[in-house]
Amino acid sequence: MTASSNPTRVALVTGASGGIGRAVAQRLAADGQAVVAAYAGNAAPAEQLVAEITAAGGQALAAGGDVSDPAVAAALFDTAEQRFGGLDVVVHAAGIMPLPTPLAEFAWEQVERVIRVNTLGTLAIAQQSVRRLRAGGALITFSSSVLALAFPGYAPYAASKGAVEAITPILARELRGRDVTVNTVAPGPTATPLFLDGKDEATIARLARQAPLERLGEPGDIAEVVSFLAGPARWVNGQLLRANGGIA
């Protein structure tokens, strides 16, 4: 494929096959951005998302791979540049959340997987972003309000996301003079398969009541925040935004 001469802003969204990532891809496409919908293993939901975006008049393509592999992360950027001419927005929504388990009971292989996917995956995507985003661009990563809530059972997950928060202001400063912003969104309890998996109705209802708004977040709530950071929010940089309805 040859690079497009279309001046439309171009976004790469990882984790786009479901949950928050899917909602973000849909929202950015509705905002007029061309979207590269990245998925880890299941191509069908990503291809369906691309079909929906293109049917609505947007531009999109799907691309797969494990983004904790730096070579795969680089290949996603190559794909975006070859198809659309470059990248303006990167939203790294891919991640995993294991079932809540006391640290003493975690299998070490599971701890390593959480760190690899959530932390190393973010670093791999961030490295390509700081090298290759165009002027006026935005890198948006994801943490979690679990860090502020300090729920028992989430130690490896919180550790993996704490690292994401730590690098955000550093990257913003490393990009001095480039006109590229770096921010992190920390959703609270959000009604996605990742969050709901393994929780009974009583637990879900209890979590929904904790926020002053007395409901779980919806993927569209988070996509709205990302849309702001990906477009008009040029004076928000190096920040952590908790999108959690006031739960923490």
Alpha carbon separation from 46 to 18, 36, 64, 220 (Å, rounded): 8, 10, 9, 17
Contacts of 32 (CB under 8 A, 6+ apart): 8, 9, 58
Which distant-in-sequence residues (6+ apart) come within 8 Å of 139 by Cβ? 89, 90, 92, 126, 129, 130, 133, 171, 180, 181, 182, 183
Catalytic positions, please? 157
Residue 62 CB-half CA count within 13 A: 24
How far apart are alpha carbons 23 and 19 in whole angstroms? 7
Element at 142 (helix H, strand E): strand 138-142
